[in-house]
Amino acid sequence: MPTFKYFILFFIFLFLFSVSSCKKEDVIYDINQLQSSSYNANKNKLKSVGQYISIVYANLFQKALSSNELVEITRCIESIGDKQVAHEIVLSNFMNRQDVIIPSDSMMRADLDLFLEETYKRFFVRNITEAEREFFLNFLNSNPHVSCEMVYMSFALSNEYQFY
Amino acid sequence: MKRRSFLKKSSLATAAISVPFILPSGRLFAASGMRMSDHVVLVAFAGGVRQQESILQRYLDDSQSYPSAGNILYNLFDGSPPTDKIVYGTKNIIDGDTPIPKILSQSLESQGTTFREINASAVGHYAGVNAMLTGNYMYTQGLRNKPMMPTIFEYLRRHQGEKATKTWFIGNGIGNSIPLLDYSTHAEYGASYGANFLAPIITFGSDGEKHLKNAKVYHPEDELDPMYKMKYFLDNVWYSQGKALPNIGNTEEEKAEIKSFVKDMFDKTAAGTIAHPPVSDNGDLRTIGYACEVMKRFKPTLTVVYLSNVDGCHSNFTSYLESLHRADHGVGHIWDYIQNNIPAMANNTTMMVVPEHGRNLDSNNIVDGNAFTGYDHSDANSRRIFSSIIGPGIDSNLSIGNQNNTVGDIVNLTPTIAEILGCKTDVVNSGLLASNKSLFDLI
């Protein structure tokens, strides 16, 4: 019996030793954590014509596109081979409507930083990078006639907006 | 050291001499052959056309067991029209009782070369037009996929350095995967050598009236220029992620011209001044009207016009005869319009007319209002088609092959177009064609 008792004690000791010996502290180098993948790398699916039109319509009019109109606009886009030309015509047609909801130019100019941040979130569903902010601030400040509509058109026609 | 310097300099000089100048289009050196004409118009007389009612001029004789034969395609072929049971014209007293007057004083048959019996091989609409435009049989790809082999548009743009607006594919709709035929997925060709596709009866039809007509016209310098600058910045940022969109490569000027064309077409449609044929009461004929406008505006090197109203033959033989007669009327109008209204293309254009496949020998059981039975496309008779070619350097009044002697295959069309436009050697050297022979090689 004493032999059995020592045997049990030996196994308890071995178990405690193996558990306690595996602990290792994570090394912390006191630097900021950075995401190794790019900021928009998760957008890897191309929107279908229907998806693109539905999303851009909801974006510009803050309401859903009717199914009839979705079919009609999709047919229009499919009827023109150069999709950028087709999108441009459809979008400029949207911009010609009275009920399109876009900020006024004065509101845009009042706080360009805020406008850019909101535009990036509105169209690209991500934060603006500092390089992008730098470009747009310079561009908009040096081109005072550029309107909010023109900025929205460039975002809606951009390649990134074609992906999700 | 001197030897090393000599070798370096001489190798650089050799490289400079031997590396050819590469055009933006990817074309090396000059075109490989002489052109027969500077423009080609290929009319895909498509939708499935039986030899019996077209080139064989049997009218109702071989299809409805009614003894009335005759030629209902008298712009294409010589031959007297039928005199009994006329159902294919316009309405005077009853539907179809008045044949549409002939446009051309001389038929295309008498002015050009006719291949009377060609093998269509494929008997589906998409497969047929695919074979026509790629010079390949569509054995290993799906119906709703882009061609796997390069189209003639891509060969032309890559090897002849043509701009995007010099190649047009004009369809009478967006069904049957037709819009997919503007370029292939082939790694060495693809979107950047694609054609401009247009389905005008949709673009300028009720859908387009509602969603395209009121497009804002932005000022090119004050509005479009900054808009594009912002877009290109966004695209450059996005491009760093490696995801590109297919782009057929219209330049900014070409895009502006297309948008201007679209706007002008809406104005002309509203004013009723589109270059439609004298009779334009179906989709094929309206498509032909807009195709004429495209040719007048852009003077394309290659224009492919896809017609398909005859496909109604599955369930309505009468409408099939009407559509056949109208397609002939449309072809006559195209040739007449080019010769008389587009000076840059007159006497410098070759036109080819060819169905993508035929139709069955025996009818199905679907009966129309005239008690005529319909025809599908699945048997050996569906593989019988014809081709008419007219233009500079094409023999007139020449007839090749007959019912008992098939000469040519639908895959010979791509090398034929390449030969006319002076790039057959380049196209053949691609090694991607099912046949290296043009129809001219078979004469």
The predicted-structure confidence for B332-372, as pLDDT tens digits, reads as follows 999 999 999 999 999 999 999 999 999 999 999 999 999 99
Which residues of chain B are within 8 Å of residue A95 when distances are taken between CB atoms?
Answer: 216
Q: How far is B201 from chain A, CA to nearest CA, in Å?
A: 9
pLDDT in tens, A91-112: 999 999 999 999 999 999 999 9
Which residues of chain B are within 8 Å of residue A131 when distances are taken between CB atoms?
Answer: 237
Q: How far is B307 from chain A, CA to nearest CA, in Å?
A: 15
User: CB distance from A116 to chain B under 8 Å?
Assistant: no
Residues of chain B below pLDDT 50: 1-7, 10-30
Which residues of chain B are within 8 Å of residue A83 when distances are taken between CB atoms?
Answer: 245-246
pLDDT in tens, A25-66: 777 777 776 655 566 667 888 999 999 999 999 999 999 999
Which residues of chain B are within 8 Å of residue A163 when distances are taken between CB atoms?
Answer: 243
Given a contact cutoff of 8 angstroms between Cβ atoms, the answer to whether B379 and B338 are in contact is no
| CA B405 centroid distance within chain | 26
Task: Walk me through the domains of chain B, giving residue ranges and CATH numbers.
Answer: 39-217+250-442 (3.40.720.10)
Residue B115 CA to residue B399 CA, distance in Å, equals 6
Q: What is the pLDDT of residue A39?
A: 64
Burial B287-311 (b: 16+ CB within 10 A, else e): bbbbbbbbbbbbbbbbbbbbbbbbb
Which residue bears the tokens 């010099």?
B166
Q: What is the pLDDT of residue B19?
A: 42
ipTM exceeds 0.85, yes or no: yes
Q: Report domain extents, chain A.
A: 44-101, 103-147
User: CB distance from A58 to chain B under 8 Å?
Assistant: no
Query: Residue A40: closest CA among chain B residues belongs to which residue?
Result: B241
User: CB distance from B387 to chain A under 8 Å?
Assistant: no
Q: Is there a contact between A76 and B216 if contact means CB atoms under 8 Å apart?
A: no
User: CB distance from A46 to chain B under 8 Å?
Assistant: yes
For strands B384-390 and B167-171, give the pairing.
Answer: unpaired
> Could you count the other beta carbons within 10 Å of the beta carbon of residue A152?
25
Q: Is there a contact between B174 and A92 if contact means CB atoms under 8 Å apart?
A: no
Which residues of chain A are within 8 Å of residue B222 when distances are taken between CB atoms?
Answer: 145
